[in-house]
Structure 1
Amino acid sequence: MRKLEKKNYGIQPLLTPIRIDVSKQEQEDILNRKKEYEEVGIFLDPLGEDSVVLREIPAYMEPGEEKEIILDFLNRTEGKESSEPELYDLMAKCVACRSAIKKGDQLSDPILAEILNRLSYCENPSRCPHGRPTLVKLSRDDLERMFHRK
């Protein structure tokens, strides 16, 4: 997220551009904001009347996640005026959510230790970028009640 805030990233041209189907109105809205999107590293061009093609992305995006991240970002910016810093912040949140550990993911002890270590460096370690809790404090009484020991 800090790299994104400092605009300290490269642009990655895609070997195979990604087609994104949208309505005619959405395409028009996207093209009207083309320069704004390019400021955050998203390069889109029209493709026919009801789609756009994603040609370049910020280099920090994980391969295979591009379309979902961009769709999430476009949906969140649709119909909203946003300043450049707000667009960077929103992009960071979209990327963070897509690359987050999900329910059911298997994690090793070293990975868990690294996550906890990195969490200690966050500005607000108790919340994700969208405001949901990342930590829950449970008292001994809470645990005993959960396991019917009290």
Structure 2
Amino acid sequence: RPVKDRLLIGAVRGAYADMLARDRHAVLALFLQVPASEVDVNVHPAKSEVRFRDPAYVRGMVVSGLRHALSTGDQRSAQAPTASAMAAWQAEPIAPPPPSASQGNIFGQPWRPEPRVSEAGLAWRGYEQSVMAPLSARAEVAAEPVADAAQHPLGVARGQISNTYIVAEAEDGLVIVDQHAAHERLVLERLRSAGAGQGTAPSQALLIPEVVELEEAACDRLEEAAGKLAEFGLALERFGPNAMLVRAIPAALAKGHPAKLVADVADDLAANGDALLLGEKLDLVLATMACHGSVRAGRTLSVAEMNALLREMEVTPRSGQCNHGRPTWVKLAHGDIEKLFGRK
């Protein structure tokens, strides 16, 4: 019979937290088998609710099971532009310029100006020559050939738009990458690997340890999680009742602000009170740390840096979505580009 259970709904949302945007909801079939003695089906008069004897255990089992299932899917799941987005790209017809008075007929004869050379004309000719010159003569950096789709499905970087989006040419189309969102996911997965026992994240020791003043409850939570945070490269010590001492931060965050990072981590540990397990709270912490250590929008990247980002995305799980569930890249297939120009 259909039932409503906030625990299961919250567990599903927690598992999909970094895979779906907040305004999206997962559609899935979840088969949960527990002993009859572990669930009370008579908690509601209409039998529309159930209650588990150990809700924390059930939530942890559901979250870990769903995340394991999601990890076996497509790692890069790209998104194609929607039909409405494609329609917005359609070029509007350009109206012909209005006739000028100087181009009219005088006494029935068209006016023909005397040919003369002007500075503007010379400048235009120089511009034409530079534009029409062979690409090899104008290119600042030798362009790499388009990579094989099987070897490098995200293609080869060709440039940036607004120092925010990477434009890459793939064998089957054009790839546009949100550099901040993509790098944020890469940093998160590195930190997750360290927390899963696949090594300790490299840290950067502070020359002068920084004291961060917080509320006593926040310091208690940070002290409790200090051992796990150290695996991610964040070394903290208690420094009195209302302060924490920061001795090291993750190497990826070496240019960040330790005080702001520690305050954000404390907020994440306090999120939702006891509704989230420590593991889920630490996942929020990792997302915060990844945001602090990722490439920002507006930063100019070299071609080598852009290609390095693309290569790492190709081998990183869940690189198709940022830590908030939004897409990190989209692809315009050759067919879509041909439609934009009326070739198909």
Give TM-score scaled by structure 2 length: 0.35
Deviations 1:72-94 (A, max 9, x none): 21112225345443344233222
CA drift at 1:4: 3.2
Q: Which residue of 1 aligns with 2:212?
A: 20
Q: CA deviation at 1:13?
A: 5.2
Q: Does 1:29 align with 2:218?
A: yes
The match for 2:237 among 44, 68, 73 is 44
User: Does structure 1 retain, via aligned residues, the 8 Å contact 2:218–2:266?
Assistant: no
SS in 2 for 1:55: strand
1:115–1:6 CA distance, 2 compared to 1 (3 A): same
The residue that corresponds to 2:247 in the other structure is 56
Counterpart secondary structure, 1:126: coil
Change (3 A) 1:59 1:7: farther
1:29-72 Cα offsets, whole Å, 9 max, x none, are 3225512233222423244x6x4132333554532423332222
1:126 to partner: Cα distance? 0.9
Deviation at 1:18, TM superposition (A): 1.6
2:255 equivalent to 1:77: no
Q: Max radius of gyration: which structure?
A: 2
Q: Does the 8 Å contact 2:195/2:228 carry over to 1?
A: no
Secondary structure of 2:225 counterpart = helix
Equivalent residue for 2:196? 5
Q: Which amino acid aligns with 2:322?
A: C
**Selected match of 1:122 from 312, 316, 328:** 316
Alignment of 1:66-105 (within 5 A): 66-79=258-271, 80-81=273-274, 82-105=276-299
Matched residue pairs, number? 141
Aligned equivalent of 2:330: 136
Provide the identity percentage: 18
Unaligned 5+ residue runs, structure 2?
A: 1-189
**Unaligned 5+ residue runs, structure 1?**
none
Structure 1 residues 61 and 108: CA distance shift in structure 2, 3 A: closer
Letter paired with 2:259:
K
8 A Cα contact 1:39 1:84, kept in partner: no
Q: CA RMSD in A?
A: 3.1
Amino acid of the residue matched to residue 220 of structure 2? L
SS of the residue corresponding to residue 136 of structure 1 reads: strand
Higher mean C-alpha deviation, range 67-76 or range 28-37? 28-37
Q: Cα gap change, 1:7/1:120 in structure 2, threshold over 3 Å: closer, same or farther?
A: closer
Structure 1 range deviating more: 104-113 or 3-12: 3-12
TM-score by length of 1: 0.71
